[in-house]
Structure 1
Amino acid sequence: MATPPLEDELTCSICLGLYLEPVTLLCGHNFCGACIRDWGDRCDKACPECRKPFPDGAELRRNVALSAVLKAMRAGPAPAPGPDPARASGSALGARCPRHGRPLDLFCRTEGRCICSACTVNECRLHERALLDAERREREAQLRAMLEVSQQQATQAERQLKELQQQRNQIQATALPTQSSACSLASMISGKFSCLLQALEMRRALALKDIKVAETQALAQAQDGEERLQGHLEALASYDRGVRDLLEQLDDRAFLQESQLLVPPGPLGPLTSPQWDEDQQLAGLKESLSRLCDLLLDEGGHPRAPAEAADLGPMEAPGPLAPVPSLVCPLRRKLWQNYRNLTFDPDSANRHLYLSRQDQQVKHRHKPRDLAGPSSFELWQVRCAQSFQNGRHYWEVHASNHSVTLGVAYPDLTRHRQGPHTDNIGRGPSSWGLCVQEDRAQAWHNGEAQLLPGVSGQLLGMDLDLASGRLTFYSLEPKAQPLHTFHAIFTQPLYPVFWLLEGRTLTLCHRPEAKLPPELQEEASEPS
């Protein structure tokens, strides 16, 4: 007959764990001191083993001999020299539960730890449990799948790193010739146009500064992308080593505990490509120099609204001009087929509006001009000298900031303030307008407004198709996209008209190749 294990003889029949502070009843049976006291409080005063009653208030004496046996058993024998049997067998049979002293042969998924059979009766009674070998097989399958994913991410990150390094090398290779070209172009023009020497020198310095800033930003973007990719590769390599080391772990309990501490690196996220365009840098420089040439060759023209001496100073360089990128989206290039070079009408300008640049630029200043013409707006508005009655026409405007309104209006648009509004563009049936605010835009006509999303960028376009009765506003940065389209039957000539808040500047962008159709040249040049 097989002898029961010593461990079974030292188990409390109430908690099914090894005795803790064992006491002996009058009948001779032993129990944990806390277990039998709790039993006596909740149940009848009888031995759980033999049902023999024990008197109420009976003294429960501690079993000293049994306590010594349990203490020696928990201490365990000294380990013999030689290989570790638990590690050699690949199991946790040598480890025991710190609470109950039983072998750790189960894994509690709820608490994430190894447990014994006694734990399933008490602390982990309602928890999700599994055998150690079953839990290990499942964890190994998960780790191998995660290892495969991390290897794929590492391959992709290495490919992106190579592409980014190639882009950075191209930027470094092209940055120096670009600066040299800009210096040569600026020196040539400054030598030919001595009367604009100061303005050209300022433009030259600004162009070189912009190129340097663009180069620095592009290289910083490339370096940031490299650092992110290098860090991601290091994290993936560290995770790869951790997974491989864990897969070689033979101890089930250590494997399961360490597997919970192994966290895979997060996704890399999108990378920002370096923004570098040599042609765009040169195009902006050529456009500004072209405007300076036009200013030099201009010898007069019709009278314009007077400007303060401080506008240009003795020879102040022109302010910011709308850049003309060399890489133009197909939609904008198609719109350029009907491009019109417009000018502001000085007679219509409000007293606070100052015209410059051959009437291509208007600025709202706090100090008003001395006199206002009979046809000038009482509101902070100005209209163009050109009007259109048929055909299709497109023009572009650069705004220094938000709080401006662009639109078109019939000739009878009132010059006087009516109502509480600061402008009258789109407030009645004879005008249509787009009001650009800081966080949104509004399309106005006949006193009704339609709320639009905010406008990105400062370059705007207007496409007027009189044949089809359509007026479309475009945002041109970073690419051309329509903001709003009005549909109407236009019965009178239409003038472009603008409103701007104090401190704002509007610039009518010109293109050298833009010309009016022959049938519209005389009409567009008529005085207002």
Structure 2
Amino acid sequence: LALEEKLVCSICLELFKVPVTLPCGHNFCERCISDHRSKQEQGAAGAKRSYQCPECRQSCEPQLELKKNVTLCSVVELAQESKAGVQRCEVTHGGLCPRHGRPLELYCEEEQRCICCVCTVQQCQRHRRALFEEEHSRKQVGNGGATVGSALGLTGLPHQDSSEALRSVILSKFAHLEKGLEAFRCQMVAKVEQELSAALRRVEEDSNTLKGHLDTLRQHQEQARDLLVSTMDHRAFLELFLGSGLAPHSWGAGTYRPHLPPLLLRAGCALFPSIFGAALHSLNHSSWREPGAIKVGPSISAPWVSFLSPDHRNLTFDPDTANKYLELSKGHRRARHGTGTAGGWQERGSPFEPWQVLCEQGYGQGCHYWEVAISSHSVILGATYRGLPRRQPPGHKFSIGLDGGSWGLQVREDGYLAWHKGREEKIQERLYAQLGVRLDYGRGLLSFYGLGEETRLIHCFHAVFTEPLYPVFWLCEGRAVTLGRRD
């Protein structure tokens, strides 16, 4: 024990590990004295200085190279081996065989007890034997497995209970939802049947009205034929026919108006917008269109032009909102994206950073229609609230249709994209040089048409408008847009 105390480092208080000797003669672990020296060598300003021996405080040069004390190393190794031998002896002589009084060295698996070397030759000669370490490891693994198994069993119970409770809650929620949906379905079916019955009654009434008109026309026709037979003079016939009150009355469009119930129409638009979009406009227009205004011709677009024409609006661009690269015509009816800044352009108002421009006209009620001629694809036309952001949005060259207050139709080389709230909807349709836009503010409809040999509905937005809407346009380089005008 006294020798072991002499072999202890005064810094770490453990046996030397790679001992080195200072010039003063004191010994330390190489790592301990290196750490001590590095701490003392660093001054306040970072300059190196000498360090002192932890035992006698004698100064040592910082450049001094410390060398291993080989003799002391050998003494430390002998001390460590001696300590290990003592420990092994303590373990070996810790127990004696009750049969023969010898140290216990093996474990008999048959008798499940520790045995000595004499037992292996006599009583346990044919038994299975094992070293203490192997049996100890086997016992530990068995006990650990049992402990883990019991722990897993105990842990699984609350998880199973939790999953059962969650499953019960989910089934209860879905059952509640199913009941609610079933009740709502019954209400909607009853409402649809009620509306359908009312619509059929109105159709029957309109049919009866038309039959009455037809009977009246037949009576006038017969009376006119009789009067024509009895009167040979044409002038006299006209005077008698008009003076006798036989001329038939003219019935306007207000006499009968076949239409679908609003509930059916809204449901159809919500479920099948591509199918009911055109039907919705057609039915809306039929409620105010005069029959005499329809011009029947070889083009199937004639009925569409007739009901769009009364709401036509002549638009003009707002120069205060035009991007600096957009050139406006003298009457502000044509906008062109040139290669440089537009001539005479001065920053005023609130111009767009993207290549966009608003129209001066805004509409907060009623029905409105305007036409646009485009030079090529890569343009956007739409409608927006006045507060459309003027700055360039990150990741986009335009701001139309990226928020909840603007709606846009992008004309591309391969079709169209409908934009709203940053979401796009691809539309496969041929490109048109002329496009029509119709706004039905009260019904929340913004429709885009392709104008050509036949008029086709390209897309229809359905929304609840809360502010006046202004026509808005975006033009790529080299593109031009001309607003249609009618006198």
Same fold? TM cut 0.5: no
Q: TM-score normalised to the size of structure 1?
A: 0.35
Q: TM-score normalised to the size of structure 2?
A: 0.38
Larger radius of gyration: 2
